[in-house]
A and B are shown apart, each in its own frame.
Chain A
Amino acid sequence: KNEVEQSPQNLTAQEGEFITINCSYSVGISALHWLQQHPGGGIVSLFMLSSGKKKHGRLIATINIQEKHSSLHITASHPRDSAVYICAVVPGADGLTFGKGTHLIIQP
Protein backbone atom coordinates (compact mmCIF):
# COMPACT_ATOMS: atom_id res chain seq x y z
CA LYS A 1 0.00 0.00 0.00
CA ASN A 2 1.37 3.35 -0.98
CA GLU A 3 1.70 5.74 1.91
CA VAL A 4 1.70 9.46 1.21
CA GLU A 5 3.11 11.70 3.91
CA GLN A 6 2.88 15.48 3.88
CA SER A 7 4.71 17.97 6.02
CA PRO A 8 4.02 20.17 7.74
CA GLN A 9 0.43 19.34 8.71
CA ASN A 10 -0.21 22.97 9.64
CA LEU A 11 1.64 26.10 8.61
CA THR A 12 1.01 29.72 9.53
CA ALA A 13 3.09 32.39 7.82
CA GLN A 14 3.12 36.10 7.18
CA GLU A 15 2.14 37.63 3.88
CA GLY A 16 5.07 37.73 1.49
CA GLU A 17 6.89 34.73 2.90
CA PHE A 18 8.18 31.88 0.73
CA ILE A 19 6.24 28.72 1.50
CA THR A 20 7.33 25.11 1.04
CA ILE A 21 5.10 22.07 1.49
CA ASN A 22 6.63 18.61 1.22
CA CYS A 23 5.25 15.27 0.09
CA SER A 24 6.90 11.85 0.34
CA TYR A 25 5.55 8.55 -0.90
CA SER A 26 6.60 4.96 -0.40
CA VAL A 27 6.26 3.11 -3.73
CA GLY A 28 6.69 3.77 -7.42
CA ILE A 29 4.18 6.04 -9.10
CA SER A 30 3.35 7.18 -12.60
CA ALA A 31 2.43 10.73 -11.58
CA LEU A 32 1.86 13.04 -8.65
CA HIS A 33 -0.82 15.68 -8.23
CA TRP A 34 -1.01 18.79 -6.09
CA LEU A 35 -4.53 19.90 -5.21
CA GLN A 36 -5.88 22.93 -3.40
CA GLN A 37 -8.97 22.76 -1.21
CA HIS A 38 -10.58 26.10 -0.49
CA PRO A 39 -12.09 26.93 2.90
CA GLY A 40 -15.53 26.36 1.37
CA GLY A 41 -14.55 22.79 0.52
CA GLY A 42 -14.06 22.93 -3.24
CA ILE A 43 -11.03 21.12 -4.65
CA VAL A 44 -9.04 22.22 -7.68
CA SER A 45 -6.08 20.60 -9.35
CA LEU A 46 -2.93 22.73 -9.34
CA PHE A 47 -0.33 20.49 -10.98
CA MET A 48 0.27 17.03 -12.31
CA LEU A 49 3.92 15.99 -12.37
CA SER A 50 5.75 12.94 -13.61
CA SER A 51 9.22 14.49 -13.58
CA GLY A 52 11.10 17.73 -13.08
CA LYS A 53 9.42 21.00 -12.29
CA LYS A 54 6.34 23.00 -13.21
CA LYS A 55 5.47 26.63 -12.58
CA HIS A 56 2.16 28.44 -12.68
CA GLY A 57 2.14 32.03 -11.51
CA ARG A 58 3.53 32.10 -7.96
CA LEU A 59 3.28 28.34 -7.56
CA ILE A 60 6.13 25.96 -8.31
CA ALA A 61 6.03 22.18 -7.99
CA THR A 62 9.01 19.86 -8.17
CA ILE A 63 9.38 16.12 -8.05
CA ASN A 64 12.34 13.80 -7.50
CA ILE A 65 11.29 10.35 -8.65
CA GLN A 66 14.41 8.63 -7.30
CA GLU A 67 13.93 10.09 -3.83
CA LYS A 68 10.12 9.67 -3.95
CA HIS A 69 9.63 13.27 -2.92
CA SER A 70 7.81 16.33 -4.19
CA SER A 71 7.61 19.91 -3.00
CA LEU A 72 5.11 22.69 -3.60
CA HIS A 73 6.44 26.21 -3.26
CA ILE A 74 4.50 29.46 -3.06
CA THR A 75 6.41 32.67 -3.66
CA ALA A 76 5.27 36.05 -2.30
CA SER A 77 2.47 34.38 -0.34
CA HIS A 78 -0.84 36.17 0.05
CA PRO A 79 -3.81 35.67 2.39
CA ARG A 80 -5.83 34.32 -0.56
CA ASP A 81 -3.37 31.39 -0.68
CA SER A 82 -4.82 30.19 2.63
CA ALA A 83 -6.19 26.73 1.94
CA VAL A 84 -5.49 23.05 2.43
CA TYR A 85 -2.91 21.73 -0.03
CA ILE A 86 -3.15 18.05 -0.83
CA CYS A 87 -0.58 15.79 -2.44
CA ALA A 88 -1.90 12.75 -4.31
CA VAL A 89 -0.07 10.01 -6.18
CA VAL A 90 -1.02 7.69 -9.00
CA PRO A 91 0.35 4.27 -8.01
CA GLY A 92 -1.09 2.39 -10.98
CA ALA A 93 -4.20 2.33 -13.11
CA ASP A 94 -6.51 3.13 -10.21
CA GLY A 95 -7.56 6.45 -8.75
CA LEU A 96 -5.42 8.66 -6.61
CA THR A 97 -3.93 7.94 -3.18
CA PHE A 98 -3.99 11.10 -1.09
CA GLY A 99 -1.95 12.64 1.67
CA LYS A 100 -3.81 14.11 4.61
CA GLY A 101 -3.17 17.66 3.50
CA THR A 102 -1.31 20.71 4.76
CA HIS A 103 -3.44 23.44 6.28
CA LEU A 104 -1.86 26.77 5.28
CA ILE A 105 -2.81 30.13 6.79
CA ILE A 106 -1.24 33.33 5.46
CA GLN A 107 -1.69 36.24 7.80
CA PRO A 108 -1.78 39.84 6.50
Chain B
Amino acid sequence: DADVTQTPRNRITKTGKRIMLECSQTKGHDRMYWYRQDPGLGLRLIYYSFDVKDINKGEISDGYSVSRQAQAKFSLSLESAIPNQTALYFCATSDYREGTDTQYFGPGTRLTVL
Protein backbone atom coordinates (compact mmCIF):
# COMPACT_ATOMS: atom_id res chain seq x y z
CA ASP B 1 0.00 0.00 0.00
CA ALA B 2 1.14 3.52 -0.77
CA ASP B 3 2.47 5.57 2.13
CA VAL B 4 0.70 8.77 1.01
CA THR B 5 -2.72 8.47 -0.58
CA GLN B 6 -4.98 11.08 -2.09
CA THR B 7 -8.68 10.90 -2.85
CA PRO B 8 -10.17 11.42 -5.31
CA ARG B 9 -7.57 10.92 -8.04
CA ASN B 10 -9.64 12.77 -10.59
CA ARG B 11 -12.52 15.19 -10.14
CA ILE B 12 -14.55 17.29 -12.50
CA THR B 13 -16.79 19.90 -10.93
CA LYS B 14 -18.62 23.09 -11.74
CA THR B 15 -17.92 26.67 -10.81
CA GLY B 16 -19.22 27.54 -7.37
CA LYS B 17 -19.22 24.00 -5.96
CA ARG B 18 -17.46 23.16 -2.70
CA ILE B 19 -14.79 20.52 -3.15
CA MET B 20 -12.70 18.60 -0.63
CA LEU B 21 -9.50 16.78 -1.47
CA GLU B 22 -8.25 14.33 1.10
CA CYS B 23 -4.77 13.15 1.99
CA SER B 24 -3.82 10.30 4.29
CA GLN B 25 -0.38 9.01 5.26
CA THR B 26 0.91 5.95 7.06
CA LYS B 27 4.48 7.21 7.46
CA GLY B 28 3.90 8.72 10.89
CA HIS B 29 5.23 12.09 9.76
CA ASP B 30 4.29 15.28 11.55
CA ARG B 31 4.64 17.61 8.57
CA MET B 32 2.10 17.68 5.74
CA TYR B 33 1.78 19.96 2.73
CA TRP B 34 -0.60 20.79 -0.10
CA TYR B 35 0.81 21.92 -3.45
CA ARG B 36 -0.71 22.68 -6.81
CA GLN B 37 0.99 22.22 -10.15
CA ASP B 38 0.12 24.21 -13.25
CA PRO B 39 1.74 23.79 -16.67
CA GLY B 40 4.59 26.26 -17.07
CA LEU B 41 4.43 27.41 -13.43
CA GLY B 42 5.73 24.45 -11.52
CA LEU B 43 4.64 23.42 -8.04
CA ARG B 44 3.46 26.03 -5.56
CA LEU B 45 2.72 25.70 -1.86
CA ILE B 46 -0.90 26.23 -0.78
CA TYR B 47 -0.88 25.30 2.93
CA TYR B 48 1.32 23.36 5.29
CA SER B 49 1.01 21.89 8.76
CA PHE B 50 3.82 20.91 11.13
CA ASP B 51 1.52 19.15 13.57
CA VAL B 52 -2.18 18.75 14.33
CA LYS B 53 -2.47 22.17 15.97
CA ASP B 54 -0.31 24.01 13.45
CA ILE B 55 -1.68 25.35 10.14
CA ASN B 56 0.19 27.82 7.95
CA LYS B 57 -0.59 29.61 4.71
CA GLY B 58 1.68 29.10 1.78
CA GLU B 59 2.33 31.15 -1.33
CA ILE B 60 -1.16 30.78 -2.86
CA SER B 61 -3.68 30.12 -0.06
CA ASP B 62 -6.47 32.45 -1.27
CA GLY B 63 -9.58 30.47 -2.19
CA TYR B 64 -8.47 27.42 -0.21
CA SER B 65 -8.80 26.17 3.36
CA VAL B 66 -7.38 23.13 5.13
CA SER B 67 -8.13 20.87 8.06
CA ARG B 68 -5.67 18.65 9.93
CA GLN B 69 -8.06 16.14 11.44
CA ALA B 70 -5.31 13.90 12.80
CA GLN B 71 -1.59 13.40 12.39
CA ALA B 72 -2.32 11.16 9.42
CA LYS B 73 -4.98 13.24 7.65
CA PHE B 74 -4.79 16.64 5.95
CA SER B 75 -7.70 17.85 3.81
CA LEU B 76 -7.82 20.70 1.32
CA SER B 77 -11.10 22.47 0.58
CA LEU B 78 -12.12 24.77 -2.21
CA GLU B 79 -15.05 26.67 -0.74
CA SER B 80 -16.36 27.88 -4.09
CA ALA B 81 -14.43 26.42 -6.97
CA ILE B 82 -13.46 28.60 -9.93
CA PRO B 83 -11.98 27.59 -13.31
CA ASN B 84 -8.48 28.91 -12.55
CA GLN B 85 -8.27 26.36 -9.74
CA THR B 86 -8.08 23.68 -12.39
CA ALA B 87 -4.74 22.03 -11.68
CA LEU B 88 -2.94 18.96 -10.42
CA TYR B 89 -2.89 18.91 -6.61
CA PHE B 90 -0.27 17.08 -4.57
CA CYS B 91 -0.14 16.27 -0.91
CA ALA B 92 3.26 15.60 0.64
CA THR B 93 4.68 14.64 4.02
CA SER B 94 8.04 15.00 5.66
CA ASP B 95 9.68 14.21 8.98
CA TYR B 96 12.36 16.65 10.05
CA ARG B 97 13.55 14.17 12.66
CA GLU B 98 14.93 12.09 9.79
CA GLY B 99 17.47 14.86 9.40
CA THR B 100 16.76 15.34 5.73
CA ASP B 101 13.21 16.72 5.59
CA THR B 102 12.77 14.60 2.49
CA GLN B 103 9.27 15.04 1.11
CA TYR B 104 7.11 12.09 0.14
CA PHE B 105 4.45 12.92 -2.39
CA GLY B 106 1.03 11.44 -2.94
CA PRO B 107 -0.02 10.40 -6.44
CA GLY B 108 -1.85 13.66 -7.12
CA THR B 109 -5.45 14.70 -7.72
CA ARG B 110 -6.36 16.10 -11.10
CA LEU B 111 -9.10 18.70 -10.57
CA THR B 112 -11.05 20.29 -13.40
CA VAL B 113 -13.41 23.17 -12.68
CA LEU B 114 -15.82 23.91 -15.52
Name A residues whose Cβ lies closer than 8 Å to a Cβ of B. 31, 33, 35, 41-45, 48, 86, 88, 90, 94-101
Interface size on B, residues (CB 8 A): 24
Chain B residue contacts of A97, Cβ below 8 A: 45, 59
Cβ distance B79 to chain A, nearest Cβ, rounded Å: 22
Cβ distance A1 to chain B, nearest Cβ, rounded Å: 9
Q: How far is the CA of A95 from the CA of B102 in the complex (A)?
A: 11
Q: How far is the CA of A51 from the CA of B40 in the complex (A)?
A: 29
Q: Is the CB of A41 within 8 A of B45?
A: no
Chain A residue contacts of B33, Cβ below 8 A: 95-96
Q: Is the CB of B105 within 8 A of A95?
A: no
Q: How far is the CA of A35 from the CA of B105 in the complex (A)?
A: 10
Q: How far is the CA of A67 from the CA of B44 in the complex (A)?
A: 24
Q: Is the CB of A95 within 8 A of B88?
A: no
Q: How far is the CA of A37 from the CA of B108 in the complex (A)?
A: 11
